[in-house]
């Protein structure tokens, strides 16, 4: 006998109708399953730019999911409002005895879910949550002492030791799909009705929804063997480009990891490591929720007195620093909502350790612009680059933006795409155009400071200042610790 007559599945960042933990468990344990997605005003109202690619990506993906569920005999009820109010109201309206959803790990999402659970309990409606967006969550991968890992490599080794086909198997949703509730088809709220606008998403090579995710993954598997060798070069088609699909769950993490796990080879293994990094940052967030509110993982670097020059920050945001690779990376972000992973590290390092601007400023800018923005990964990446996070780049190691450019965009192909004013520079000279002899600049008709900015800072000078800032912070921490120890001895 089935446990429930009517239940509701609350879709969030899991916009697919297959290999879906909450949907599977609801279908298996219910006579009728209603499906709901909410365009949450508590999230949307925080977005200042109403031409936000993420909202359009979600809208298109929700629309595809709605159509897919209709083909199965059900539908997706799409609402616009505050989820903490809408979900309990919908559950009561549909006479649902339980609500099923997949877990989220961000503190604000946890607080929202606790509120929803409380409101449902008042109506005698159960609330069930499941692991779905990660391979291992919370306390599933711990040290032998039962503590969370703070360094990636031992975490990865423990993760891989535990990983097997049991954790990679798909949830067989189709076995119970007949239990979808046969409700009348309801229209979706339009982007306009929610005060959002279309963007350039349709012109980008980024297909949306489940079908878009599968097409990208099929393309990637044909070249995954080359991933280790190509992933660091922004002008080469090396990455999977699936980060936004993982962010919104239009593809299953188990499907991706299962493919890489069984395929083997250097490329697949390197890519699987990247998926494990994703799990790692989720568990860091779970065990250290302070990082979600702007706190450094490493307390000694909490209050570094960065100068925070606003003009330099604007130059970085606009892609007008005078360092071509940095500017190309920032313009790619501004024009597309995407930035190549290698460039995220280089651009972040440049902001913090060349421009001497607090990493939190850059973290916020990426959060506004990245179509694949994910709190745990974005925070983890920024704290890695700023040397304030777990297993971070040592504070005394500072990327040189010129050598990074020469190494990862040697012929300047990526730079030329996003900084076309330098297109006439020779390959060897495009990385530092201010060093091109004046007569040659005249010949190629480029005036530094007019057609393209001169460097806003000198890397060597800024490097020394950055080292001093971090050294002072580190020494201050040591001095404070020694003082506490001495007071303990005297007491």
Residue 7 lies in a domain: yes
Rounded distance between C-alpha atoms, residue 112 and residue 37, angstroms = 15
Q: Is the distance from CB of 84 to CB of 42 less than 8 angstroms? A: yes
Q: Which of 312, 326, 318, 325 is nearest to 355 (CA)?
A: 312
- Joined together, the tokens standing for residue 124 give 């005698």
Residues facing residue 100 across a β-bridge: 9, 128
Rounded distance between C-alpha atoms, residue 457 and residue 161, angstroms = 47
Q: Is the distance from CB of 4 to CB of 98 less than 8 angstroms? A: yes
Residue 174 lies in a domain: no
Predicted local confidence at residue 479, as pLDDT = 55
User: Can you say whether the dihedral through the CA atoms of 137, 277, 361, 235 is positive or negative?
Assistant: negative
- Joined together, the tokens standing for residue 54 give 């993420």
First-last CA distance in the chain: 68
- Joined together, the tokens standing for residue 339 give 């930035």
Write down the pTM of the prediction: 0.94
226 plus 309 within the same structural domain: no
Looking at the structure of the chain, the number of domains it has is 3
**Within the chain, which residues score under 70 in pLDDT?**
1, 477-491
61 plus 144 within the same structural domain: no
Q: Is the distance from CB of 14 to CB of 22 less than 8 angstroms? A: yes
* Contact partners, residue 400, CB within 8 Å, separation at least 6: 459
Q: Which of 290, 298, 292 is nearest to 473 (CA)?
A: 298
* Main-chain phi, psi angles of 148, to 5 degrees: -70, 150
Residue 181 lies in a domain: no
- Joined together, the tokens standing for residue 162 give 């535990």
Which CATH number do you get for residue 81? Answer: 3.40.50.620
Q: Which of 46, 72, 106, 69 is nearest to 377 (CA)?
A: 106
159 plus 111 within the same structural domain: no
| pLDDT one-digit tens code per residue, 189-231 | 999 999 999 999 999 989 999 999 999 999 999 999 999 999 9
Predicted local confidence at residue 484, as pLDDT = 44
452 plus 311 within the same structural domain: yes
Q: Which of 287, 313, 334 is the last residue of a domain?
A: 287
247 plus 262 within the same structural domain: yes
Q: Which of 76, 103, 132 is the last residue of a domain?
A: 132
Residue 198 lies in a domain: no
125 plus 142 within the same structural domain: no
306 plus 452 within the same structural domain: yes
Rounded distance between C-alpha atoms, residue 154 and residue 391, angstroms = 11
Q: State the DSSP code for 180.
A: B
Write the burial class of residue 122 (CB in 10 Å: 0-12 exposed, 13-18 middle, 19+ buried).
exposed
148 plus 277 within the same structural domain: yes
User: What b-and-e string marks burial along 154-174, b requiring 16 or more CB atoms within 10 Å of the CB?
Assistant: ebbebbeeebeeebbeebebe
Which CATH number do you get for residue 316? Answer: 1.10.579.10
Residue range(s) defining the domain that contains residue 276: 134-169+210-287
- Joined together, the tokens standing for residue 398 give 């500072």
User: Can you say whether the dihedral through the CA atoms of 246, 250, 253, 259 is positive or negative?
Assistant: negative
Which CATH number do you get for residue 229? Answer: 1.25.40.80
130 SS3 class = strand
């Amino acid at each position: 006998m089935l446990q429930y007559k009517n239940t509701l599945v609350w879709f969030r960042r899991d916009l697919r109708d297959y290999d879906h933990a909450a949907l599977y468990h609801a279908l298996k344990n219910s006579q009728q399953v209603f499906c709901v997605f909410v365009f949450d005003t508590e999230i949307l109202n925080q977005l200042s730019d109403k031409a936000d690619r993420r909202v359009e990506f979600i809208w298109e993906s929700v629309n595809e999911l709605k159509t897919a569920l209709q083909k199965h005999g059900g539908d997706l009820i799409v609402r616009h409002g505050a989820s903490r109010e809408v979900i309990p109201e919908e559950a009561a309206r549909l006479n649902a005895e339980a609500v099923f959803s997949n877990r989220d790990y961000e503190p604000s999402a946890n607080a929202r879910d606790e509120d929803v659970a409380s409101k449902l309990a008042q109506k005698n409606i159960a609330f069930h949550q499941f692991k779905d967006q990660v391979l291992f969550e919370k306390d599933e991968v711990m040290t032998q002492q039962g503590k969370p890992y703070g360094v990636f490599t031992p975490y990865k080794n423990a993760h891989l030791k535990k990983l097997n086909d049991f954790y990679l198997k798909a949830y067989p949703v189709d076995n119970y799909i007949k239990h979808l509730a046969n409700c009348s088809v309801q229209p979706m709220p339009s982007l306009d009705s929610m005060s959002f606008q279309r963007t350039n998403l349709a012109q980008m090579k980024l297909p949306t929804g489940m079908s878009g995710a599968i097409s990208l993954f099929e393309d990637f598997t044909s070249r995954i063997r080359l991933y280790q060798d190509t992933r660091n070069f922004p002008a080469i088609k090396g990455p999977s480009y699936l980060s936004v699909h993982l962010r919104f769950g239009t593809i299953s993490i188990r499907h991706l990891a299962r493919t890489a796990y069984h395929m083997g080879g250097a490329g697949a293994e390197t890519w699987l490591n990247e998926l494990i990094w994703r799990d790692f940052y989720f568990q860091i967030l779970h065990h250290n929720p302070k990082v979600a509110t702007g706190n450094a993982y490493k307390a000694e670097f909490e209050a570094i007195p960065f100068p925070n020059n606003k003009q330099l920050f604007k130059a970085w945001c606009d892609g007008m620093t005078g360092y071509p690779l940095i500017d190309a990376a920032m313009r790619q972000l501004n024009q597309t909502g995407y930035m190549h992973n290698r460039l995220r590290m280089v651009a972040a390092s440049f902001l913090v350790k060349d421009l001497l601007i607090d990493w939190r400023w850059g973290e916020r800018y990426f959060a506004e612009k990245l179509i694949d923005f994910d709190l745990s990964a974005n925070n983890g990446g920024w704290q890695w680059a700023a040397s304030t996070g777990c297993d971070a780049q040592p504070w005394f190691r500072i990327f040189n933006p010129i050598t990074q450019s020469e190494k990862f965009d040697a012929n300047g192909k990526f730079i030329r795409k996003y900084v076309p004013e330098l297109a006439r520079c020779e390959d060897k000279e495009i990385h530092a155009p201010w060093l091109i002899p004046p007569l040659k600049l005249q010949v190629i008709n480029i005036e530094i400071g007019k057609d393209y900015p001169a460097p806003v800072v000198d890397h060597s000078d800024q490097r020394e200042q950055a080292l001093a800032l971090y050294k002072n912070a580190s020494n201050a921490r040591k001095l404070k610790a020694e003082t506490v120890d001495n007071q303990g001895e005297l007491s």
